Structure formats: C-alpha cells, structure tokens
Structure 1
C-alpha cells in the first residue's frame, strides 16, 4: 500500500469525523433555538401577568406565588439556554479541530502526490539520460 493510498484512507476518515462534528453542531444549534424559544415563552408569560390584585387574601397570595413561579421558570429557562449555548460552543470547537485535522491530512496528501510526480519525472529523466548516453557512446564505438 503506497503512502498516497494510506493518506487517502486517513483523509476519508478525517472527512467523516468532520461531517459527524458538523452534524453535532447542527443538533446543538437546534437545541439553542429550542431553549431560546422556551425563554421567549416564559418572558411572554411573565409580561402577561398582571400582578396581584386586591380583594381576597387567598387569591392575592396565590397570585404572588404564581408570579414567583413564573419568575423561577424564566430563570430556569435562561439557565437551560446558557447550557445549550455552552454545549454548542463546545461542539463548534470540536468541529474546528476536526477541520484542522482534515486540512493537515489534505496537505500531506498533496505533498505526497507532488513527491510522487517528482519521482516519476526523475525516473523518466534517468531513462532519457540513459538512452541519450547509450546513443552517444554506442555510436562512437563502432
């Protein structure tokens, strides 16, 4: 197995790793979008809450408790969004690393191909030199 074919196999593996990382980033970004939508829903609920109204003390206390629960739910939704954003950032870092590894192997593959072409040209040049040398020495010995 030549160096070029081994590098080609490694390159295919690196591309597959990068594709998987790209898929993970897409999933993480979708999770960020879902978490952001959750925050928006909680904010809208809290904005729609009119606050405690006077009157029955039990209704007043229930209204205060509902307001606190909505505020806590908003805080929890914001925490989920932060965690999703952190996870997405981590996945983007993994994707960046995978792309770097792929580019490194691509460069090695290009160098190996260039070296193979140079070796082929050098071999062809040696053949031409041998043929040319045989003609010049062969013609003078007859």
Structure 2
C-alpha cells in the first residue's frame, strides 16, 4: 500500500469525522433554538400573569403559587438554554478541531503528491539524459 493510498484513507476518515462533527453542531444549534423558544414562552407566560382577581385567601395563595411556578419554569428554561448554548459551543470547538485535523492530512496528501511528481520528473529526466548520452556516444563512434 503506497503512502498516497494510506493518506487517502486517512483523509477520507478525517472528512467523515468532520461531517459527523458538523451534524453534531447542527443538532446542538437546533437544541439552542428550541431552548430559546421555550424560554421565550415561559417569559411570556410570566409577563402575562397577573395577581388574583379577588382577594380571598385561597385565591391569593393559589396566585402566589402559580407565580412562583411560572418563575421557576422560566428559571429552568433559562438554565436549559444556557446549557444548550455551552453544548453548542463545545460542538463548534470539536468541529474546528476536526477541520484542522482534516486540513493537516490534506497538506500531507499534497506534499506526497508533490514528491511523487518530482520523482516522476526526475525519472523522466534520467531517461532523457540516458537517451541523449547513448545518442551522443553513437555519434562519437
């Protein structure tokens, strides 16, 4: 197995890894968008909440409990959104690392191809030089 074919296999693997990381980023971004919508919904619910219409003790206590529940739901949604953003940032970092690994292998493939081309040119040049030497030697006789 030649160096070029081994590097080609490694490059294909690196590209697959990068594609997987890209998919992970897309899923993480979708989760951030979903969490943001949930946070906005919870904030809207809390903004739309008003105190009790009548001032009975039961209504007041129920209203306070509802307000606390809405506030807790908003806090939970905000926390989930922040967690989703952190996860998305980590996934983007992993994507950058995968892209960097792919680019490194691409550079190695390019170098191997350049060395191969140089070797082919050197072989052709030697063959041409040998032909010229044989031809010149034939003319000298």
- 1:116 alignment counterpart: 116
- 2:104 alignment counterpart: 104
Any stretches of 5+ residues in structure 1 without a counterpart? none
- Provide the secondary structure at the position in 2 that maps to 1:51: coil
Q: How far is 1:115 from its partner?
A: 0.8
Q: How far is 1:137 from its partner?
A: 1.5
- 1:64 alignment counterpart: 64
1:66-117 per-position Cα deviation (integer Å, ceiling 9, x unaligned): 1011001100000000000000000000000000000010111011111100
- Provide the secondary structure at the position in 2 that maps to 1:71: helix
1:81 aligns with 2:81: yes
Question: For 1:3-22, what aligned pairs fall within 5 Å after superposition?
Answer: 3-22=3-22
TM-score (norm: length of structure 2): 0.97
Distance in 2 separating the partners of 1:51 and 1:111:
72
Q: How far is 1:55 from its partner?
A: 1.9
What do you get for the CA RMSD once the two structures are aligned?
Answer: 0.9
1:45 aligns with 2:42: no
Q: How far is 1:54 from its partner?
A: 4.3
